[in-house]
């Protein structure tokens, strides 16, 4: 069922949007003009796999993918702000937990961050959240 | 002595079978990696290499050396070159026991392709993360 992706995306994006204390979020294909000097978060939904979970006719499918969240903070101010935001995001997408929206559950495989990088005028930390769902 | 030889033969056959399986997996990873890789100048996709675990080096093509980062008129050609190189790498892994392999890309802008860049208006392609998610 192809429409499952809109449900998965909605669950993940709602979870991110519901975290308190994080900067504004730039969602997929929504115009967002970053203001230099102001932190923000970019979210990207990436479906990767769709494989039968069992053999036989009309099997349940295992969908898997990545929810890529990137934390952007102004460059030159040290890593503490970006680190703090990244930690908050990871804590809210903890591995082995479910993200739910309207009784629709997406399971989290892992949530990992990388080191910080410079992309002038930003300092950013990429976070990759692995998700899956049987449907 | 003959029992030792039998065990040695069995171990040799197991090693050979494991190596064949790893090469099949390496080929699937090569196919998928090239398929999902973006092509602009072609330098990024042609910089992939597959090496035995612990082996150094790898390819690095720079778009700077390709006439000022111009968009290639034939993206498929670069993908074919990349696939050919990766298949050669897989063949070069040898027929003896393979202890695993590593997919590398040593192009100068690999991080930009993976994570994107606001400054250069490059979207995050997450090629390595997608390969990892699919093949574990």
Q: Between B66 and B11, name the one with better pLDDT.
A: B11
Q: Could you tell me the two tokens for A43?
A: 């979210």
The interaxial angle of helices B75-92 and B2-36, nearest 10 deg, is 170
Q: Which of A92-106, A116-130, B15-29, B71-85 is the least confident region?
A: B15-29
Q: What is the pLDDT of residues B119-133, one digit of tens each?
A: 888 999 999 999 999
Domain boundaries of chain B, sorted by first residue: 2-135
| Interchain contact, A66 vs B129, CB within 8 Å | yes
**How much is the pLDDT for B119?**
87
Report which secondary-structure segment, H or E, holds A44. strand A40-52
Q: Which residues of B touch A42 (CB under 8 A)?
A: 116, 124
| Interchain contact, A49 vs B117, CB within 8 Å | no
Residues in A 32-61 with any Cβ partner in B closer than 8 A = 34, 42, 44, 46, 48-49
- ipTM score assigned to the predicted complex: 0.88
Q: Could you tell me the two tokens for A102?
A: 């309207």
CB atoms within 10 A of CB A60: 10
**How much is the pLDDT for B64?**
61
Domain boundaries of chain A, sorted by first residue: 4-134
pTM: 0.88
B2 band by pLDDT with thresholds 50, 70 and 90:
confident
Residues in B 99-118 with any Cβ partner in A closer than 8 A = 111, 114-118
Nearest CA-CA distance, residue A119 and chain B, Å: 6
| Pure H helices in B1-136 | 2-36, 75-92, 110-115, 127-135
CA–CA gap between residue A25 and residue A34 (Å, rounded) = 10
Q: Which residues of A touch B115 (CB under 8 A)?
A: 70, 114, 117, 124, 126
In chain A, the residue whose alpha carbon lies closest to the alpha carbon of B112 is A119
CA–CA gap between residue A96 and residue A111 (Å, rounded) = 10
**How much is the pLDDT for B65?**
54
| Interchain contact, B133 vs A49, CB within 8 Å | yes
Q: Which residue of B125, B129, B136 to mutate against A (max A Cβ within 10 Å)?
A: B129
Q: Which of A78-82, A83-87, B61-65, B80-84 is the least confident region?
A: B61-65
Q: Which residues of A touch B123 (CB under 8 A)?
A: 44
Residue among A116, A61, A60, A110 nearest A85 (CA): A116
| Interchain contact, B118 vs A49, CB within 8 Å | no
**How much is the pLDDT for A13?**
97
| Interchain contact, A46 vs B116, CB within 8 Å | no
Q: Which residues of A touch B129 (CB under 8 A)?
A: 46, 66, 68, 128
Q: Which residue of A8, A36, A38, A46 to mutate against B (max B Cβ within 10 Å)?
A: A46
Percent of chain B with pLDDT over 90: 58
Cis peptide before A121 (omega within 30 of 0): yes
Q: Could you tell me the two tokens for B107?
A: 């192009």
> Would you say residue B67 has pLDDT above 70?
no
**How much is the pLDDT for B14?**
80
> Would you say residue B89 has pLDDT above 80?
yes
**CATH: 3.30.830.10, 3.30.70.100, 3.30.2000.20, 3.40.50.720. Which one for A4-134?**
3.30.2000.20
Mean pLDDT for the stretch of residues A93-108: 92
């Amino acid at each position: 069922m192809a429409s499952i992706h809109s449900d998965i995306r909605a669950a993940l994006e709602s979870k991110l949007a519901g975290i308190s204390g994080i900067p504004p979020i730039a969602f997929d294909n929504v115009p967002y003009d970053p203001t230099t000097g102001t932190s923000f978060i970019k979210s990207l939904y990436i479906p990767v796999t769709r494989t039968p979970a069992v053999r036989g006719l009309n099997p349940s499918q295992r969908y898997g993918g990545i929810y890529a969240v990137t934390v952007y903070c102004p460059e030159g101010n040290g890593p503490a702000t970006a680190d703090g935001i990244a930690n908050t995001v990871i804590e809210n997408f903890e591995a082995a937990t479910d993200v739910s929206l309207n009784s629709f559950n997406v399971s989290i495989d892992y949530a990992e961050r990388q080191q910080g990088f410079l992309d002038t005028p930003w300092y950013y930390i990429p976070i990759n959240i692995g998700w899956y769902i049987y449907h | 002595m003959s029992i030792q030889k039998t065990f040695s033969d069995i171990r040799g056959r197991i090693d050979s079978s494991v190596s064949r399986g790893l090469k099949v997996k390496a080929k699937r990873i090569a196919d998928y990696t090239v398929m999902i890789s973006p092509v602009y100048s072609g330098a990024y996709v042609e910089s992939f290499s597959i090496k035995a675990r612990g082996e150094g080096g790898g390819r690095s093509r720079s778009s700077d050396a390709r006439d000022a980062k111009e968009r290639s008129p034939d993206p498929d050609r670069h993908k074919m070159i990349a696939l050919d190189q990766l298949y050669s790498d897989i063949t070069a892994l040898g027929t003896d026991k393979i202890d695993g392999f590593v997919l590398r890309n040593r192009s100068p802008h690999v991080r930009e392709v993976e994570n994107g860049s606001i400054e250069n208006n490059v979207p995050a392609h997450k090629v390595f993360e997608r390969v990892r998610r699919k093949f574990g």
